[in-house]
Amino acid sequence: MKWNKKHIYLAIFLPIQMLLMQLVEHNPNFVERYYSNGIYPLISSFLRIIFGWIPFSVGDLLLGFGLFVLLRFLYRLIKTRFKNFIPKLIHLTAVFSVIYFCFYLFWGLNYYREPLSKNLNYQQKKYTTEELQKVTEHIIQHLNSYQLKITKNDTLKIENPYSQKEMYKIATSGYDNLSKDFPQLKYQFKSVKSSLMSLLQSYNGTSGYLNPLTGEAQVNDRVPKTSYPTTTCHEMAHQIGFAAENEANFVGFLAANYNDNLYFKYASYRMAFGYCILEIRKRDSELSKQLWKTVNKGITKDFNASYEFWQTYKNPFEPLIKKGYNAYLKANKQSKGVESYNYVVDLLISYFDKNKGL
């Protein structure tokens, strides 16, 4: 087998890219100015325009094709008893080098931008349990109110009447309202789709993902519909450049909360309550139990139904997948890994403290 010079150059370029990313990590101001608010909006808009009109997920097909090619490569490598192993390994490294480059150019550099709290001029600080309790009580008050407005009975579980596609359309109006107060959170050119791999996502415990190569927001269409609005808004937040999970959670909360639709408003406080009560339980389990008693029974039924849904998909491989995703997040400036999702509480407290006078 002949040595391919192009493959060699691309393979050498991979470690060079990794070294450059180490430099980028220490220059968030540069990333914020020239990438996140510079070329990224152009790239992301272009991708959403190109792929947004297609009714199915192009990104899922690309992932499936990539997995097939990788498995075929490994099969042939074993079948030929590792003949021409070094040239083939260089070829594989060259492919990863191209994917690595596209990942960070098309979206991944957003991991290294300045914190959203700075962008929104929030003064984040360590909060006390008392402050967390106060915000949680405020959230419960609104959560109970929206549940009662929808069902007219505090013991009834909410049943979201909208289809997934209808919710994708409704979600954009929330971002339209949000951009009036937060212009930096403007969303254009919708490209939100149900994932072709929703069943697989259910088994690996994920509700959605953004495909950075196509700019499509992929949502697991099997997840309970009461949480669907915030899941959709979360993935849309990734599309507009907020890569960190806690920041995407917060922008997703805002977009759902700013929506005129009651089911979206309910979902926003439902998500906020879920993260806040989890944090309270870590600090004071007795206080957590007391606060749960103030939540309408219909809401408790909703949370129980969601828990039962995810329990049906529990499997031995899920922890391994989460470990892999945990390592991925840590490699991209999220030192807490999958726990990064929970750090949305900091932003929620800053938001309610600043805007609600708590």
**Residue-wise pLDDT tens digits, 159-168:** 999 999 999 9
270: nearest Cα among 238, 287, 295, 247: 295
Cα 135 vs. chain centroid, distance in angstroms? 23
* Reported pTM: 0.93
Q: What is the pLDDT of residue 336?
A: 62
**How many helices (H) and strands (E) in the chain?**
16, 3
Q: What is the pLDDT of residue 2?
A: 66
Q: What is the pLDDT of residue 244?
A: 92
Q: What is the pLDDT of residue 320?
A: 80
Residues 35-71 pLDDT 10s:
999 999 999 999 999 999 999 999 999 999 999 999 9
Mean pLDDT per 10-residue segment, the chain (358 residues): 82 95 92 96 97 95 92 88 86 94 96 91 83 96 98 97 96 97 94 95 93 96 96 98 94 97 98 96 95 98 96 86 75 63 84 74
Start-to-end CA distance of the chain, whole Å, equals 70
- CA distances for 271 relative to 216, 239, 299, angstroms: 23, 20, 12
CB 251, CB 347: distance < 8 Å: no
**What is residue 32's three-state secondary structure?**
helix
Q: What is the pLDDT of residue 77?
A: 85
Q: What is the pLDDT of residue 342?
A: 63
